[in-house]
Every structure is written in structure tokens, then in C-alpha cells.
């Protein structure tokens, strides 16, 4: 009997030691990779993949909430906007994958509860604004601090993502740098627009509903100046919306939404940038250099593409937008090479893009197609 009892105690001791070792290894590995940004992010290599960004960014914000005088809200498209490039402000990019307008006011209240008092709020208007709160963490709704690091980092789910990070298996073609700034992986896929504008792949779920949700952000942070912008969208998507008869209604709702902001910019209008497939990896998420240009415009730089909607009346906005759409669709139907003099309406480069898109020409790198064969046109690219 004494032997049996001793053996049982030994079994419990060994089991306890094994469990403790496993928990310790799990905690240590998760702390080193730090996917939830309780500390300083990945210490192994400077790539941090998107995993529970709502928690990770909240952790980062609360390290020094009083340091920020500007907040940026939006979806994954807005995560690629470099917060450090907004001149005159110390911004925190609080955008996250799948972000919706209904969430932003909740996160704004959370930030204010921890003494964040921004003088500027920038909002990426994504065209998807359901009011569902199913992705909002409980601690945000309760205006409390996130769970302690040890609670999160003893999780098997977090360990799975840590292992995935070590294997360099990002869930998306984008990642965060060591400063939690969004960027695009060099191995990103190549965006190929559809040949047929009637194709379902040519159009995305672009619609605007419940614009009043943006007013809730104002109510949460009433002292700020509000700047809204529509991130770039592939010109093929916009042309497909026009062909399907949905563009007019979309522009009307977008213009109404613009009235809720102090300044509002629309970068989805067809342009040399949105007509260039090499500037995006999926027609919706645009490269860092494009977002650098956007950050400059939001900071007051001259407009190099897009529309300053706050400076336009409704009819002028619609007219300029639809004129750009017509120019883009015109170039898709061309059968002859345009002259350099036609560059001004944006149609010349589109023909060149189409000419090379559906050929089997080799490419110089996975990041960017071959330069335009027409050197005059190539010089005009932004």
C-alpha cells in the first residue's frame, strides 16, 4: 500500500512537472514572438503577422495613451496608412482587419476612457458599415484594460499562431513592422483585373449604409477635427459598378457621408494609380508608396490623385467622378495605341496596362510589372 501511494505521488509529481514545463514553454515562446503586442512584438525577425489586431493594437495604445493627439480608424485597407507620415500630429493607427463603422465609435470611447484626447481623427470609409459588434472584445465594451499577458499567452490558439509566425506563414499578404506599421510582403500575389466587366470578380461588396454611425465617433471624441477618406479601389471594380448600374447610388451615399466630416477625400475615383494593377495586390489593398501619397494629401499636400469632396458640390463631384470612369472605360475599348497628348484624361496609360496585362511577357520581379514600353507614357506615371 505504501508502494502504491508512493507511486501515485510520483506520478502526480511527474505529471505536474511535465504540465509546468509545457506551460512554461508555451508562455516563453509566445512572449518571444509577442503576437498580441504586450511587449514589443516579434523579437526573432521584423515581421509581425495580423492576429487579433483589436487586442494587439489596444495593448500598443495603452503603453502610452497620452502620447497621441490623432487616431486613425478603418479596415485592413487603412492599416497600410503610415501613421508617422501625418504631418503635425502624433497619430496612432487603430485600424484593423474587418473594421466596421459600428465598431469605431466603441473603440473611440475605449481610447477616451484611457485619456486619449485627439485633436484629429482620420477615418477610412470602406463602404462596408454593418452595425454588428460581434468582433469587439469584451474588455473594450467594458472600458477595461485587456487581459494580463500571462492569461493570453498560455493560450493554445496563440501558440498556434506563434508557430505559424516562426514558419513565416502569414495569413495575409501584408504584415506589421517592428513599429506596428502596416506593410506588404514581397511575396504578395499579383493582381490581374478581369477582362470582362460583367465578371463577378470585377466588383466588390461596395455599398454604404448607416452613415450615422460615423456621427457616433464624433460623439465619443467631440473635440477633434474629422478627416474621412475612401481608400483606392481598382478602376476595374468601379467600372464594373458603373456597368451594373450601382455607381450612381453609391456616389450619392458617399457624398452624404462626406458631409459628416470636416474634410473628405475620395481616392477610389479612376486614376493613373487605380488603373495600374501593379500598385495593389488584390484591387483593394494598395502598396505603401500609394499610402504614402495619401498620407501627404491628408496632411495638406497638393492633390496628385483623388478628389477633395469637401470642396465640391454634389453635382460637380458626380460629374468629375463619372468623367474619370468614362475615360477609363473608353481606354478599355481602344483598339489603337493612343497618342501622348491623350494622357491628360487618364486614358492613355490604361491602354498600355491592358496591352501588357493579358500577354505572356516575362516580369522583372514579383512586385512590379515591366515598365511601360512607351517611354513618354512611362515618364508620366506617378
Q: Helices in the chain by DSSP H: which ranges?
A: 2-33, 53-63, 101-113, 138-141, 149-153, 156-166, 213-220, 235-244, 247-258, 288-298, 314-332, 347-357, 375-380
In terms of pLDDT, which residue wins out, 40 or 8?
40
- Residue 285 C-alpha cell reads as 489593398
Rounded CA-CA distance 90/299 in Å is: 12
pLDDT for 155 equals: 85
pLDDT at 378 over 60: no
Which helix (H) or strand (E) segment is 185 a member of?
none
In terms of pLDDT, which residue wins out, 101 or 19?
101
pLDDT tens per residue, range 220-262: 999 999 999 999 999 999 998 898 888 998 899 899 999 999 9
Rounded CA-CA distance 307/320 in Å is: 8
The Cβ of residue 135 has, within 10 Å, a number of other Cβ atoms equal to: 16
Average pLDDT over residues 196-215: 63
pLDDT tens per residue, range 252-264: 989 999 999 999 9
pLDDT for 331 equals: 76
pLDDT for 332 equals: 75
Domain segments of the chain as ranges:
42-151+171-331
Asked if 361 contacts 370 with a C-beta cutoff of 8 angstroms, the reply is yes
pLDDT for 275 equals: 87
In terms of pLDDT, which residue wins out, 331 or 232?
232
Average pLDDT over residues 309-338: 83
Average pLDDT over residues 119-144: 81
Nearest 10 degrees: Cα torsion 280, 285, 286, 288: -120
Q: Which candidate, 102, 140, 103, 108, places its Cα nearest to that of 121? A: 108
Rounded CA-CA distance 123/75 in Å is: 9
Residues shown for the chain: 382
Query: How wide is the angle at C-alpha 208 spanned by C-alphas 269 and 131, nearest 5°?
Result: 140
Assigned CATH topology for domain 42-151+171-331: Rossmann fold (3.40.50)
Bin 300: left if φ > 0, else alpha if -120 < ψ < 50, else beta.
Answer: left
- Residue 18 C-alpha cell reads as 511535465
pLDDT for 350 equals: 54
Q: pLDDT category, 20, cuts 50, 70, 90?
A: low
- Residue 264 C-alpha cell reads as 473628405
pLDDT for 186 equals: 93
Rounded CA-CA distance 352/379 in Å is: 13
Which helix (H) or strand (E) segment is 64 a member of?
none
Query: How wide is the angle at C-alpha 356 spanned by C-alphas 378 and 334, nearest 5°?
Result: 85
First and final CA of the chain: distance in angstroms? 84
Q: Judging by DSSP bridges, how do beta strands 174-176 and 91-93 pair with one another?
A: unpaired
pLDDT for 126 equals: 83
pLDDT at 345 over 80: no
Looking at the DSSP bridge assignments, the partners of residue 91 are 70
Q: pLDDT category, 327, cuts 50, 70, 90?
A: confident
- Residue 105 C-alpha cell reads as 465609435
In terms of pLDDT, which residue wins out, 64 or 32?
64
pLDDT for 339 equals: 46
Instruction: Compute CA 40 distance to the chain's CA centroid, rounded to the nearest angstrom.
Output: 21
Between 28-37, 87-96, 336-345, the lowest mean confidence (pLDDT) is in 336-345
The backbone torsions φ and ψ at residue 156, rounded to the nearest 5 degrees and listed phi first, read -70, -35
pLDDT for 210 equals: 67
pLDDT at 111 over 60: yes
The Cβ of residue 13 has, within 10 Å, a number of other Cβ atoms equal to: 10
CB half-sphere exposure, 319, CA atoms < 13 A: 5
What mean pLDDT, rounded, does the chain reach? 81
Average pLDDT over residues 152-176: 91
pTM of structure: 0.83
Rounded CA-CA distance 163/32 in Å is: 11
Q: What is the DSSP letter of 267?
A: -
In terms of pLDDT, which residue wins out, 56 or 374?
56
pLDDT tens per residue, range 36-82: 999 988 888 889 999 899 999 999 999 999 999 999 999 999 999 99
Q: Which candidate, 188, 187, 197, places its Cα nearest to that of 331? A: 197
Looking at the DSSP bridge assignments, the partners of residue 280 are 286
pLDDT for 154 equals: 87
pLDDT at 172 over 70: yes
pLDDT at 376 over 50: no
Average pLDDT over residues 356-369: 35
Average pLDDT over residues 176-190: 92
The Cβ of residue 291 has, within 10 Å, a number of other Cβ atoms equal to: 24
pLDDT at 368 over 50: no
Q: DSSP 3-state assignment of 123?
A: strand
Amino acid at each position: 500500500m505504501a508502494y502504491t501511494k508512493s507511486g501515485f505521488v510520483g506520478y502526480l509529481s511527474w505529471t505536474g512537472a511535465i504540465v509546468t514545463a509545457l506551460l512554461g514553454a508555451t508562455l516563453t515562446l509566445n512572449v518571444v514572438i509577442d503576437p498580441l503586442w504586450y511587449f514589443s512584438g516579434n523579437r526573432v525577425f521584423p515581421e509581425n503577422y495580423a492576429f487579433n489586431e483589436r487586442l494587439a493594437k489596444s495593448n500598443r495604445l495603452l503603453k502610452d495613451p497620452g502620447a497621441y493627439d490623432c487616431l486613425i480608424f478603418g479596415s485592413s485597407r487603412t492599416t497600410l496608412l503610415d501613421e508617422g507620415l501625418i504631418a503635425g500630429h502624433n497619430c496612432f493607427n487603430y485600424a484593423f482587419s474587418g473594421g466596421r463603422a459600428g465598431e469605431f465609435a466603441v473603440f473611440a470611447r475605449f481610447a477616451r476612457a484611457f485619456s486619449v484626447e485627439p485633436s484629429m481623427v482620420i477615418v477610412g470609409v470602406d463602404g462596408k458599415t454593418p452595425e454588428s459588434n460581434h468582433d469587439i472584445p469584451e474588455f473594450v465594451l467594458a472600458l477595461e484594460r485587456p487581459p494580463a499577458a500571462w492569461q493570453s499567452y498560455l493560450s493554445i490558439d496563440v501558440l498556434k499562431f506563434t508557430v505559424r509566425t516562426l514558419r513565416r506563414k502569414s495569413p495575409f499578404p501584408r504584415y506589421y513592422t517592428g513599429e506596428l506599421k502596416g506593410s506588404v510582403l514581397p511575396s504578395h500575389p499579383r493582381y490581374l483585373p478581369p477582362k470582362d466587366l460583367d465578371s463577378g470578380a470585377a466588383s466588390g461588396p461596395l455599398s454604404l449604409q448607416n452613415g450615422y454611425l460615423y456621427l457616433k465617433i464624433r460623439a465619443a471624441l467631440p473635440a477633434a477635427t474629422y478627416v474621412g477618406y475612401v481608400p483606392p479601389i481598382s478602376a476595374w471594380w468601379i467600372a464594373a459598378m458603373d456597368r451594373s448600374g450601382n455607381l450612381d447610388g453609391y456616389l450619392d451615399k458617399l457624398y452624404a457621408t462626406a458631409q459628416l466630416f470636416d474634410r473628405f477625400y475620395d481616392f477610389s475615383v479612376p486614376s493613373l494609380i487605380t488603373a495600374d494593377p501593379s500598385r495593389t495586390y488584390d484591387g483593394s489593398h494598395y502598396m505603401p508608396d500609394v499610402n504614402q501619397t495619401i498620407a501627404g494629401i491628408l496632411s495638406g499636400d497638393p492633390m496628385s490623385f483623388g478628389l477633395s469632396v469637401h470642396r465640391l458640390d454634389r453635382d460637380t463631384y458626380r460629374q468629375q467622378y463619372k468623367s474619370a470612369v468614362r475615360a477609363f472605360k473608353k481606354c478599355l475599348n481602344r483598339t489603337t495605341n493612343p497618342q501622348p497628348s491623350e494622357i491628360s484624361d487618364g486614358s492613355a496609360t490604361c491602354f498600355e496596362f491592358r496591352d501588357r496585362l493579358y500577354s505572356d511577357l516575362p516580369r522583372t520581379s514579383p512586385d512590379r510589372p515591366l515598365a511601360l514600353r512607351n517611354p513618354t507614357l512611362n515618364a508620366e506615371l506617378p
